Structure 1
Amino acid sequence: MSHTARRYSAGAMIFHWVIAIAVIVNWRLAENAEHAEAMEDKIAIFANHKALGILILVLTLGRLAWRWTHPVPPLPSNLAQWEATLARTVHVIFYVLLIGLPLGGWIANSLSGREVDMFGLFVIPPLPVGENAEAAKTIFGLHATGGSVFIYLIALHILGALKHTFFDRNGGIFRMLPFGKVPG
């Protein structure tokens, strides 16, 4: 097996790290908006949160298209079966959340009759779902819960990458970086 076949492609690495940074920034935006005292600050921060969420959705769809057209390296051979199953499960849940959270936020926003301002560049109109404040509130609650679950899964993902890198010494994090040793 070639050295590069043990790593993700450059495109996959770019998508991974850009989306990872965007998700963490978006989580912090949501936290800052929740703790903002002035309503105008809260609205402004949530506007950026919504726009970044739509951008994450678009990037995720691009990442999935990339993944379907570029081979993914196999998991390291020294993983226990439960570790391989957990890794695959967490990755599937990541994709579900990367698509479901922005869509859920957009639907709830639409149920509130609001458009999404994309950083002042253009506006995405509400989806044609009608207005329903109670449904919007329920979906926003699920959105917040999903966001919390996502953060815990990200922590698990980081811990797993560090374990595989420094304890198992199987390349772990270096499979998603253009440098570092990925053993054969």
Structure 2
Amino acid sequence: MSNSDKYPILMRLMHWLVGLLILGIISAGWYMTGLEDSVSYKYDIYHWHKSFGMLVLFLLFARLVIRWASRVPPLPDTMPGYQKKLGVLVHWLLYLFMFLVPLSGFMMSNAGGRDVPFFNLTIPGFMEKNPELAGRLHDIHVVIPYVLLGIVVVHILAALKHRYFDKPEHDVLRRML
């Protein structure tokens, strides 16, 4: 495989960094919400969960700019058209939910009257306190990470299928390694 068949190095680094961040943030979300309020470090985890969530949102915008400015290697000509279309759909769904999950958390905090930290900074809110809206956004923010995780699983399984069960030229995973 030539370097022209691979994604540019910056895109590959962003792919793996954001992927690991997302898995870590979702894991931290499950962990922190399962803790009793009496656990001394519970709200420290909330701080880091929100900070890294905002980082994912910022990195998503950077990633989209890098993708727009970079040459994305085409999928193999011999790959069936429906698989190419499904691959494009899954990628855009990943981008959509990488945006919606942290945005819903940010808006939930805003509507709940809580600050959104970005490590040692505070991101200013843009919404009035609205407990009813905060509750609805909470419900959304609890559910859509599962949707994102499901799309990530489909993405991973498709890459593994192409690597281990398809023709060698369909191995799209090596373009990201």
CA distance in 1, matches of 2:46, 2:27: 11
d(CA) in 1 for partners of 2:153 and 2:97? 15
Once superposed, what is the RMSD of the aligned Cα atoms? 1.4
TM-score normalized by the length of structure 2: 0.92
Conserved 8 A contact 1:163-1:172: no
Q: What corresponds to 2:8 in structure 1?
A: 9
| Matched length | 174
> Which whole-Å deviations, capped at 9, do the CAs of 1:72-129 have from their partners, x for residues lacking one?
111122322221111111111111111121112111110011112223x22222x221
CA distance in 2: counterparts of 1:90 and 1:42, whole angstroms: 34
Counterpart residue number, 1:96 = 96
Contact 1:108 1:137 in 2 (8 A): yes
CA distance in 2, matches of 1:113, 1:95: 28
Q: Which runs of 5+ in 1 are unaligned?
A: 178-184
Aligned to 1:182: none
Structure 2 CA distance, aligned partners of 1:139 and 1:78?
A: 44
Q: Does 1:128 align with 2:126?
A: yes
What's the secondary structure of 1:117's corresponding residue?
Answer: strand
Q: What is the alpha-carbon distance in structure 2 between the residues aligned to residue 19 and residue 128 of structure 1?
A: 26
TM-score by length of 1: 0.89
Alignment identity in percent? 29
Q: Which structure 2 residue ranges, 5 or more long, are not aligned?
A: none
SS in 2 for 1:161: helix
Matches within 5 A, 1:3-152: 3-39=2-38, 40-119=40-119, 121-125=120-124, 127-152=125-150
- 8 Å CA contact 1:33–1:41 kept in 2: the answer is no
